[in-house]
Amino acid sequence: MVKPKVAIVTGAARGIGRAIAERLMHDGFIVAIADMNEASARSTCEQIAWIAADHVFAVHVDVTDAASARQMVASVIERHGQVDVLVNNAGVVGVSGPVVTYAEDEWRRVLATNLDGTFYCSKAVLPHMLERRTGRIVNIASISGKEGNPNMPAYSASKAGVIAFTKALAKEVLTQGIYVNCVTPSLIQTDMANSVGTEQRAALIAKIPMGRMGQPEEVAALVAWLASPECSFSTGAVFDISGGRATY
């Protein structure tokens, strides 16, 4: 019997991460639901275990803490012997507001989660992937990192950082069997999208030519391909999933 591949999805207790976890389980992966919200991660595990018994488990991580990221990766390797895929999905949108009044603490919190977290988890898993000379890393960036959204300065800057980090890391490891790509969704229907406020949300939807929010499952389908062996000639790439908002 072929040994199932193992994927870590950060921030998978809900939203896009949860949809990615479900999709990867359907595709045969064992999936670690790595989240800071332990109760929610455990509850998600219980809810999606029907897809494949014993193919999902919860593991605590606070991606803003490098030691926590290392511990999380080590515990997954200890449990299943390998990590084939890391999806850096955990993120926060931060409060909306102009730069002149943007609180320094909030700036730091958003950068620490979205950008530092992607770096810490990637750094933690890379020695293992380099040793095995195989691996896929998929980073969840955002269209705001390509275009910049007004009143979302920290979020936009953090996601631009994730895009640049993706390209830099991909070039570093591409001859060693590890491919690193990112996706740039526009507005996707999750709790995060609901948290941005009615006016801001309406403005973001108005920018989407398809006239609707995306669904988490639509992002998950793209991530599943990026995590699969079929993605064999792409690395350091930025994959748009924005209902036609970005065509570049």
Ligand X SMILES: NC(=O)c1ccc[n+]([C@@H]2O[C@H](COP(=O)([O-])OP(=O)(O)OC[C@H]3O[C@@H](n4cnc5c(N)ncnc54)[C@H](O)[C@@H]3O)[C@@H](O)[C@H]2O)c1
Q: Give me the residue label for tokens 């993706």.
A: 166
> From CA 248, how far away is CA 239, in angstroms rounded?
10
Give the nearer residue to ligand X in terms of CB position, either 36 or 95.
Answer: 36
**Contact indicator for 73, 125 with CB cutoff of 8 Å:** yes
Residue (4 or 44) nearer to ligand X, CB: 44
Nearer to ligand X among residue 177 and residue 194 (C-beta): 194
The encoded tokens of residue 69 equal: 């990221």
Taking the complex as a whole, how short is the minimal distance between the CB of residue 175 and ligand X, in angstroms? 28
For 10, how many CA atoms within 13 A lie in the half-sphere containing its CB?
A: 31
- Least Å from the CB of residue 68 to ligand X: 8
Closer CB to ligand X, residue 130 or residue 192?
Answer: 192
- Determine the 3-state secondary structure of 182 from DSSP: strand
Name the β-bridge partners of 239: 183
Describe the strand order of the beta sheet including 6-10 as a list of residue ranges: 56-60, 30-35, 6-10, 85-88, 135-140, 178-185, 238-241
CB contact at 8 A, 59 and 75? yes
Q: Which of 102, 120, 155, 179 is catalytic?
A: 155
Minimum CB distance to ligand X smaller for 4 or for 238: 238
Examine the residue annotation and report whether 248 is marked as an active-site residue of this protein.
Answer: no
In sequence order, the 6+-apart residues with CB closer than 8 A to the CB of 244 are 208, 209, 210
The residues binding ligand X (CB under 6 A) are 10-11, 13-17, 35-37, 61-64, 89-92, 113, 117, 140, 142, 185, 187-188, 190-193
Bin 68: left if φ > 0, else alpha if -120 < ψ < 50, else beta: alpha
Residue numbers annotated as active site: 155
